[in-house]
Amino acid sequence: GGIITQTPKFLIGQEGQKLTLKCQQNFNHDTMYWYRQDSGKGLRLIYYSITENDLQKGDLSEGYDASREKKSSFSLTVTSAQKNEMAVFLCASSITGGDTQYFGPGTRLLVL
Amino acid sequence: GQQVQQSPASLVLQEGENAELQCNFSTSLNSMQWFYQRPGGSLVSLFYNPSGTKHSGRLTSTTVIKERRSSLHISSSQTTDSGTYLCALDTNTGKLTFGDGTVLTVKP
């Protein structure tokens, strides 16, 4: 088995601030994903990466940057936090794209 | 329009009752995944089901591609089944498209 860890668990920022969320997995999976979930809604894909140093835009990439520094880690940056970005950000990984995805516990973002 | 639609949006059951959750999709699929999301956020994969019927304990998933639907059946519900159930469409692009979920509440 393996585990996905996300840090921080809670993130409070100011409007306009640049904020970074981190994700680590020890499954040795090739593909990693970042999703955003708004209250009462499903998940929407922000960015994904099929291998180290690869980046692919999802449906919601505007306003975000991502970085796949190494196979086990995938970071997401909110480039300028906005009040309507209070949401949960979920990281996931899979062996390859199209396989079962495994999720981390999430980072809850609150913008003041 | 939305590619993946889940119904009902919410469901309240008495412990011991069965639940049938539906997911309808408007595009071709490689597979359908069902997830359980605990109150608090983390997702657990329940089924990866490209077609046909799969069983896991009290859970059954059925995907009928021709009818563009997938269902999740929970038998003999328990209070610990409470939470949000999400279906997600995999169109073989490596990306999942999620429905908005069904919030299930099982009362003792």
| DSSP for B71-108, written as a single string | EEEE-S--GGG-EEEEEEEE-SSS-EEE---EEEEEE-
Kindly report whether the peptide bond that precedes residue B8 is cis, defined as omega within 30 degrees of 0: yes
Least confident of A5-14, A100-109, B85-94: B85-94
- The C-alpha atoms of residue B93 and residue A59 are separated, in whole angstroms, by 13
The mean pLDDT of chain A is: 92
Residues of B in Cβ contact (< 8 Å) with A61: none
B20 touches chain A (CB under 8 A): no
Q: How confident is the model at residue B1 (pLDDT cuts 50, 70, 90)?
A: low
Nearest-Cα residue of chain A relative to residue B39: A105
DSSP annotation string for A47-110: EEESSTT--EE-TT-TTEEEEEEETTEEEEEESS--GGG-EEEEEEEESSTTSPPEE---EEEE
Number of Cβ pairs < 8 A linking chain A and chain B: 61
Q: CA Rg, chain B, in Å?
A: 13
B26 touches chain A (CB under 8 A): no
| Distance between first and last Cα of chain B | 38
Q: pLDDT, tens digit, for every residue of B72-102?
A: 999 999 999 999 999 999 876 678 899 999 9
Q: Is the pLDDT of residue A97 over 80?
A: no
Least confident of A4-8, B37-41, B85-89: B37-41
- The C-alpha atoms of residue A84 and residue A66 are separated, in whole angstroms, by 20
Q: Is the pLDDT of residue B36 over 90?
A: yes
Question: What percent of chain A has a predicted confidence (pLDDT) above 90?
Answer: 79
pLDDT of residue A7: 96
B62 touches chain A (CB under 8 A): no
Q: pLDDT, tens digit, for every residue of A42-95?
A: 899 999 999 999 999 998 999 999 999 899 999 999 999 998 778 999 999 999
Q: Is the pLDDT of residue A19 over 70?
A: yes
Across the interface, do B45 and A40 touch by the CB < 8 Å criterion? Answer: no
